[in-house]
Amino acid sequence: MLRMKITVCREAHFNSAHRLHNPNWDEERNKTIFGKCNNPNYHGHNYDLIVKVTGDIDEETGYVMDTKVLKDLIEERVIECFDHKNLNLDTEEFKNLNPTAENIAKIIYEKLRGGIQKDLALRITLYETRRNYVEYGE
């Protein structure tokens, strides 16, 4: 039988304020494109994050990657930076980058990629609300 890859998935959560805004546009264009998400006083979300790591099963442990290790990595590199923060004001990453769900997922991917073995694939799912979410990665 062909040796298929297996994926382990770990869910985490953070609660942040943000606003969508492009500083190169005037106020009117920002309002037209981003609507109520452009509110200058910010609004917020409970972000649900799923991190997926794909590779081979280690024969000694039966693990692709120890999910306790993955949980701690997510905690340290993502939750501590973004939880109970204002993404636009309190983080370096979104000082000059619009914190859309797409861009947040991409930044989370980049923050985690270095902490995971190179031969493992990484994929991010980020729920902004129960009805809106994005997927990014290998």
Burial class (CB in 10 A: 0-12, 13-18, 19+), 68: exposed
Distance, in Å, from the CA atom of 60 to the CA atom of 50, rounded to the nearest integer, reads 26
Give me the 88-127 binding string for a copy of itself, x by CB under 8 A, dash otherwise.
-xx------xxxxxxx-xx---------------------
DSSP 79: I
Q: Is 45 a catalytic residue?
A: no
**Number of neighbouring beta carbons within 10 Å of residue 15:** 12
To the query of whether residue 37 is one of the catalytic residues in this protein, the response is yes
Q: Where do contacts with a copy of itself occur on this chain (CB under 8 A)?
A: 4, 6-13, 15-18, 20, 22, 24-25, 33, 35-37, 39, 41-46, 52, 57, 60-64, 66-68, 83-86, 89-90, 97-103, 105-106, 129-138
Residues serving a catalytic function are: 37, 84, 128
